[in-house]
Amino acid sequence: MSTALIADDEPLLAANLAERLSALWPALDIVAIAANGLEAVAALNAHRPDFAFLDIRMPGLTGLQVAQAARDTRVVFVTAYDEYALNAFEHAAIDYLLKPVGDARLAQCVSRLQRETERPGNQAADLAAVLAQLQAGAAAPALAWLSVGLGDTTRLIALDEVVYFEANNKYTDVVTATERHLIRTPLKDLLPQLDPQRFAQVHRAIIVNLGAVARIHRDLLGRQQIHLKQRTDVLPLSRSFAGRFRQM
């Protein structure tokens, strides 16, 4: 029986992948599900699984960093990277699954893994090639979508739907025109993943979609406030972040 590790900081996505893998490959034993990169490395060392399905963006260590510890484990990256970065995976023996993972693509991946259970000597070279291509390019592509949990359902929200992000203790509220969702990613970790041409930090606790801004208003005390197109919320604009809006 083959064994596998799943590492994803979104527990609903990890559980869903485990369930679908079990349906497609009954002989595959999911020996561990890790919630972050550090847990994934520990699970790799403890179980030495045949396969590891690694989310690329995870707290602690990224999937790419975790993969460097996968000496005898065949890696499948689970990624939201764009076409440029995917070229690195296309030209390596390392497989990838592009989020959201479709049924046909997952079945194709399983079939490939079943055919190629033994590829001695390829893992290190393929991983090195992937890392080299990703590091040679521009910075990692901006985030394109988010997954949020609604009860027993996982919903995907495109970044275009987001009006603003607001820090909520160690987590972040994702605010759309009609809804508010909580994700586990802190605001400070989310900011580097966003396209700076589309999103801007306007307060230590708020990042706004620039396309959602209707106008900037200055009150009698000189405080600046952001009025939105699709919501009645009024957001504070801190002086330290106001420079970007001087031409608006």
> Is CATH 2.40.50.1020 correct for 145-245?
yes
- Cα-flanking dihedrals φ and ψ of residue 182, to 5°? -105, 130
Compare 237 and 93 and report the one with higher pLDDT: 237
Q: Are the beta carbons of 77 and 33 closer than 8 angstroms?
A: no
Q: Which of 9-23, 89-103, 124-138, 159-173 has the lowest mean pLDDT?
A: 124-138
Q: Which of 80-84, 135-139, 178-182, 210-214 has the lowest mean pLDDT?
A: 135-139
Residue tagged 């369930």 (tokens): 19
Q: Are the beta carbons of 14 and 8 closer than 8 angstroms?
A: yes
- Token code pair at residue 32: 């561990």
Asked if residue 203 has pLDDT above 90, the reply is: yes
- CA triplet 234, 231, 149: central angle to 5 degrees? 110
- Token code pair at residue 185: 């990613």
Q: Which of 209, 150, 202, 143 is nearest to 176 (CA)?
A: 209
Asked if residue 124 has pLDDT above 90, the reply is: no
- Token code pair at residue 245: 């809006």
Query: Are both 2-136 and 145-245 of the same fold?
Result: no
**Cis peptide preceding 100, ω within 30 of 0:** yes
Q: Are the beta carbons of 76 and 54 closer than 8 angstroms?
A: yes
Q: Are the beta carbons of 235 and 202 closer than 8 angstroms?
A: yes
How far apart, in whole angstroms, are the C-alpha atoms of residue 232 and residue 121? Answer: 59
Average pLDDT (113-142) is 60
Q: Is 34 left (phi over 0), alpha (psi -120 to 50) or beta?
A: beta
How does pLDDT run across 23-76, given as a tens digit for each residue?
A: 999 999 999 999 998 899 999 999 999 999 999 888 878 888 888 788 788 889
Compare 83 and 18 and report the one with higher pLDDT: 18
Confidence at residue 60, expressed as pLDDT on a 0 to 100 scale: 78
Cα separations in angstroms, 190 against 8, 82, 113, 186:
16, 18, 33, 6
The Cβ of residue 131 has, within 10 Å, a number of other Cβ atoms equal to: 15
How far apart, in whole angstroms, are the C-alpha atoms of residue 169 and residue 158? Answer: 23
How far apart, in whole angstroms, are the C-alpha atoms of residue 37 and residue 57? Answer: 9
Asked if residue 208 has pLDDT above 80, the reply is: yes
- Counting residues of the chain whose pLDDT is more than 90, the rounded percentage is 44
Q: Which of 80, 90, 107 is nearest to 194 (CA)?
A: 80
Q: Are the beta carbons of 187 and 172 closer than 8 angstroms?
A: yes
Q: Are the beta carbons of 145 and 156 closer than 8 angstroms?
A: yes
Residue 175 pairs in a beta bridge with 164, 180
Confidence at residue 125, expressed as pLDDT on a 0 to 100 scale: 58
Domain ranges of the chain: 2-136, 145-245
CA 17, distance to chain mean position in Å, is 15
CATH superfamily of 2-136: Response regulator (3.40.50.2300)
